[in-house]
Protein backbone atom coordinates (compact mmCIF):
# COMPACT_ATOMS: atom_id res chain seq x y z
CA UNK A 1 0.00 0.00 0.00
CA UNK A 2 1.21 3.50 -0.89
CA UNK A 3 2.50 4.95 2.36
CA UNK A 4 1.13 8.36 1.36
CA UNK A 5 -2.36 7.00 1.96
CA UNK A 6 -3.50 7.14 5.58
CA UNK A 7 -5.65 4.41 7.11
CA UNK A 8 -7.90 5.71 9.89
CA UNK A 9 -9.66 2.73 11.53
CA UNK A 10 -12.91 3.65 13.22
CA UNK A 11 -13.35 2.76 16.87
CA UNK A 12 -17.09 2.58 16.19
CA UNK A 13 -16.54 -1.04 15.10
CA UNK A 14 -14.16 -1.91 17.93
CA UNK A 15 -15.01 -3.79 21.12
CA UNK A 16 -16.06 -0.95 23.42
CA UNK A 17 -15.03 -3.02 26.43
CA UNK A 18 -11.42 -3.09 25.18
CA UNK A 19 -10.66 0.18 23.42
CA UNK A 20 -7.06 -0.01 24.63
CA UNK A 21 -6.69 -3.33 22.82
CA UNK A 22 -8.24 -1.83 19.69
CA UNK A 23 -5.69 0.98 19.75
CA UNK A 24 -2.86 -1.55 19.97
CA UNK A 25 -4.30 -3.36 16.94
CA UNK A 26 -4.46 -0.09 14.99
CA UNK A 27 -0.87 0.75 15.92
CA UNK A 28 0.31 -2.38 14.10
CA UNK A 29 -0.90 -0.93 10.79
CA UNK A 30 1.37 1.37 8.81
CA UNK A 31 0.17 4.90 8.18
CA UNK A 32 -2.58 4.89 10.81
CA UNK A 33 -4.73 7.48 12.46
CA UNK A 34 -7.54 6.67 14.90
CA UNK A 35 -11.02 7.68 13.71
CA UNK A 36 -13.33 8.51 16.61
CA UNK A 37 -17.03 8.85 15.78
CA UNK A 38 -18.91 11.09 18.21
CA UNK A 39 -22.71 10.82 17.90
CA UNK A 40 -25.24 12.82 19.89
CA UNK A 41 -28.56 11.07 19.22
CA UNK A 42 -29.86 14.19 17.40
CA UNK A 43 -27.79 14.82 14.27
CA UNK A 44 -27.74 11.03 13.93
CA UNK A 45 -29.97 8.61 15.88
CA UNK A 46 -27.15 6.75 17.62
CA UNK A 47 -25.17 7.80 20.69
CA UNK A 48 -21.55 6.75 21.11
CA UNK A 49 -18.91 8.27 23.38
CA UNK A 50 -17.81 11.75 24.29
CA UNK A 51 -15.05 13.78 25.82
CA UNK A 52 -14.34 11.63 28.92
CA UNK A 53 -13.77 8.50 26.84
CA UNK A 54 -11.52 10.30 24.36
CA UNK A 55 -9.52 11.82 27.20
CA UNK A 56 -9.14 8.43 28.89
CA UNK A 57 -7.83 6.67 25.76
CA UNK A 58 -5.60 9.56 24.72
CA UNK A 59 -2.87 8.29 27.04
CA UNK A 60 -3.02 4.85 25.42
CA UNK A 61 -1.72 5.89 22.00
CA UNK A 62 0.43 8.52 20.32
CA UNK A 63 -1.37 8.10 16.98
CA UNK A 64 -3.27 11.12 15.62
CA UNK A 65 -6.86 11.22 16.86
CA UNK A 66 -9.23 11.99 13.99
CA UNK A 67 -12.40 13.06 15.82
CA UNK A 68 -15.55 13.10 13.67
CA UNK A 69 -18.31 15.13 15.32
CA UNK A 70 -21.73 13.91 14.19
CA UNK A 71 -23.38 16.40 16.52
CA UNK A 72 -25.61 19.45 16.24
CA UNK A 73 -24.11 22.90 16.92
CA UNK A 74 -20.50 21.68 17.10
CA UNK A 75 -19.31 25.20 17.95
CA UNK A 76 -20.68 24.62 21.46
CA UNK A 77 -18.48 21.56 22.06
CA UNK A 78 -15.31 22.03 20.00
CA UNK A 79 -13.24 23.46 22.90
CA UNK A 80 -13.93 20.43 25.08
CA UNK A 81 -12.96 18.00 22.30
CA UNK A 82 -9.73 19.92 21.78
CA UNK A 83 -9.05 19.59 25.51
CA UNK A 84 -9.80 15.87 25.33
CA UNK A 85 -6.87 15.30 22.96
CA UNK A 86 -8.17 15.53 19.39
CA UNK A 87 -5.63 16.26 16.65
CA UNK A 88 -8.11 16.59 13.79
CA UNK A 89 -11.64 17.78 14.51
CA UNK A 90 -14.13 17.26 11.71
CA UNK A 91 -17.64 18.67 11.99
CA UNK A 92 -20.56 18.39 9.57
CA UNK A 93 -21.42 21.24 7.21
CA UNK A 94 -25.08 20.31 7.70
CA UNK A 95 -24.90 20.66 11.51
CA UNK A 96 -24.02 24.33 11.89
CA UNK A 97 -24.62 27.80 10.44
CA UNK A 98 -21.19 28.81 11.75
CA UNK A 99 -18.72 26.67 9.82
CA UNK A 100 -16.19 29.49 9.49
CA UNK A 101 -16.27 30.10 13.24
CA UNK A 102 -15.74 26.38 13.89
CA UNK A 103 -12.69 26.34 11.63
CA UNK A 104 -11.27 29.40 13.39
CA UNK A 105 -11.80 27.85 16.82
CA UNK A 106 -9.98 24.69 15.80
CA UNK A 107 -7.08 26.51 14.16
CA UNK A 108 -6.70 28.96 17.03
CA UNK A 109 -6.07 25.95 19.27
CA UNK A 110 -3.36 24.67 16.93
CA UNK A 111 -5.41 21.74 15.66
CA UNK A 112 -6.45 20.62 12.18
CA UNK A 113 -9.95 21.44 10.93
CA UNK A 114 -12.08 19.15 8.81
CA UNK A 115 -15.56 19.47 7.36
CA UNK A 116 -17.73 16.43 6.59
CA UNK A 117 -20.40 16.12 3.91
CA UNK A 118 -23.35 13.72 4.03
CA UNK A 119 -23.87 11.74 0.80
CA UNK A 120 -26.60 14.05 -0.52
CA UNK A 121 -24.74 17.30 0.29
CA UNK A 122 -22.99 18.78 -2.75
CA UNK A 123 -19.34 19.75 -2.78
CA UNK A 124 -20.38 23.30 -3.74
CA UNK A 125 -21.38 24.13 -0.13
CA UNK A 126 -17.65 24.23 0.69
CA UNK A 127 -16.66 26.62 -2.10
CA UNK A 128 -15.72 29.53 0.19
CA UNK A 129 -14.20 27.32 2.88
CA UNK A 130 -11.88 25.03 0.94
CA UNK A 131 -8.83 27.35 1.18
CA UNK A 132 -9.10 27.19 4.99
CA UNK A 133 -9.86 23.49 5.53
CA UNK A 134 -7.24 20.86 6.38
CA UNK A 135 -9.49 17.90 5.55
CA UNK A 136 -12.75 17.19 3.75
CA UNK A 137 -14.54 14.04 4.87
CA UNK A 138 -16.81 12.58 2.20
CA UNK A 139 -19.40 10.32 3.80
CA UNK A 140 -19.74 7.39 1.42
CA UNK A 141 -22.63 6.00 3.49
CA UNK A 142 -25.34 7.72 5.51
CA UNK A 143 -23.81 8.75 8.85
CA UNK A 144 -24.77 7.02 12.05
CA UNK A 145 -24.49 3.28 11.40
CA UNK A 146 -21.62 0.92 10.70
CA UNK A 147 -21.59 -1.90 8.18
CA UNK A 148 -23.33 -0.09 5.29
CA UNK A 149 -22.48 -0.47 1.61
CA UNK A 150 -20.65 2.34 -0.15
CA UNK A 151 -22.98 4.63 -2.12
CA UNK A 152 -21.52 4.71 -5.66
CA UNK A 153 -22.24 8.36 -6.52
CA UNK A 154 -20.19 9.56 -3.57
CA UNK A 155 -17.00 8.49 -5.36
CA UNK A 156 -17.64 11.23 -7.92
CA UNK A 157 -17.64 13.78 -5.07
CA UNK A 158 -14.12 12.65 -4.19
CA UNK A 159 -13.10 13.13 -7.81
CA UNK A 160 -14.62 16.64 -7.88
CA UNK A 161 -12.72 17.62 -4.74
CA UNK A 162 -9.46 16.25 -6.13
CA UNK A 163 -10.01 18.27 -9.34
CA UNK A 164 -10.68 21.47 -7.38
CA UNK A 165 -7.63 20.91 -5.21
CA UNK A 166 -5.41 20.42 -8.22
CA UNK A 167 -6.90 23.34 -10.16
CA UNK A 168 -6.78 25.81 -7.26
CA UNK A 169 -3.50 24.61 -5.78
CA UNK A 170 -5.06 23.86 -2.40
CA UNK A 171 -3.70 21.54 0.27
CA UNK A 172 -6.65 19.90 2.03
CA UNK A 173 -6.75 16.13 2.47
CA UNK A 174 -9.68 14.10 1.17
CA UNK A 175 -11.06 11.42 3.47
CA UNK A 176 -13.79 8.85 2.84
CA UNK A 177 -15.88 7.13 5.48
CA UNK A 178 -18.19 4.18 5.00
CA UNK A 179 -18.36 0.93 3.10
CA UNK A 180 -14.66 0.78 2.28
CA UNK A 181 -13.48 -2.80 1.88
CA UNK A 182 -11.06 -4.67 -0.34
CA UNK A 183 -13.46 -4.37 -3.28
CA UNK A 184 -14.24 -0.65 -2.99
CA UNK A 185 -10.81 0.54 -1.81
CA UNK A 186 -9.37 0.80 -5.35
CA UNK A 187 -12.36 2.93 -6.43
CA UNK A 188 -11.89 5.58 -3.76
CA UNK A 189 -8.11 5.64 -4.14
CA UNK A 190 -8.34 6.11 -7.90
CA UNK A 191 -10.71 9.05 -7.36
CA UNK A 192 -8.17 10.87 -5.20
CA UNK A 193 -8.67 9.79 -1.59
CA UNK A 194 -5.86 10.48 0.90
CA UNK A 195 -7.40 9.16 4.13
CA UNK A 196 -9.42 5.94 4.30
CA UNK A 197 -11.74 5.42 7.26
CA UNK A 198 -12.60 1.77 7.81
CA UNK A 199 -14.57 0.23 10.65
CA UNK A 200 -15.99 -3.26 10.37
CA UNK A 201 -13.78 -4.22 7.40
CA UNK A 202 -10.66 -3.32 9.37
CA UNK A 203 -11.55 -5.05 12.63
CA UNK A 204 -12.79 -8.23 10.92
CA UNK A 205 -9.58 -8.39 8.86
CA UNK A 206 -11.44 -8.19 5.54
CA UNK A 207 -9.55 -5.05 4.52
CA UNK A 208 -5.93 -6.02 3.89
CA UNK A 209 -3.65 -3.02 4.30
CA UNK A 210 -0.09 -4.16 5.06
Catalytic residue of the set 37, 66, 134, 194: 37
85 is in an annotated binding site: no
> Given 66, 134, 177, 194, which residue is catalytic?
177
Q: Is 100 annotated as a binding residue?
A: no
18 catalytic residue (yes or no): no
Q: State the DSSP code for 45.
A: S
What are the strands of the beta sheet with 88-92, ordered from one edge? 6-9, 195-198, 173-177, 135-139, 112-117, 88-92, 65-70, 34-39
10 known member of a binding site = yes
Judge whether 192 is annotated as a binding position: no
Q: Is 179 annotated as a binding residue?
A: yes
Residue 35 annotated as lining a ligand binding site: yes
Cα–Cα distances (Å) from 137 to 57, 60, 68, 172, 176, in that order, read: 23, 25, 9, 10, 6
- Cite the beta strand spans of 107-165 per DSSP E: 112-117, 135-139
Is 199 annotated in a binding site? The answer is yes
Is 163 a known active-site residue?
A: no
| 146 is an annotated ligand-binding site residue | yes
CB-based contacts of 130, cutoff 8 Å, min separation 6: 136, 164, 165, 168, 170, 172
Query: Residues marked as binding?
Result: 10, 35, 37, 68, 144-147, 177-179, 199-200
Catalytic residues: 37, 177
Known binding positions for a divalent metal cation? 35, 37, 68, 177
Question: Binding site for substrate: which residues?
Answer: 10, 68, 144-147, 177-179, 199-200
Amino acid sequence: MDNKIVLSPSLLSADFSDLGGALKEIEKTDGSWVHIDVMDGHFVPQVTYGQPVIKSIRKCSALPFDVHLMIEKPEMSIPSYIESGADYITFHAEATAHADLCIQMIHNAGKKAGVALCPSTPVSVLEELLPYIDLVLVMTVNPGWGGQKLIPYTVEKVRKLADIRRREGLGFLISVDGGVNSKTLPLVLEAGTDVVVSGSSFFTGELKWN
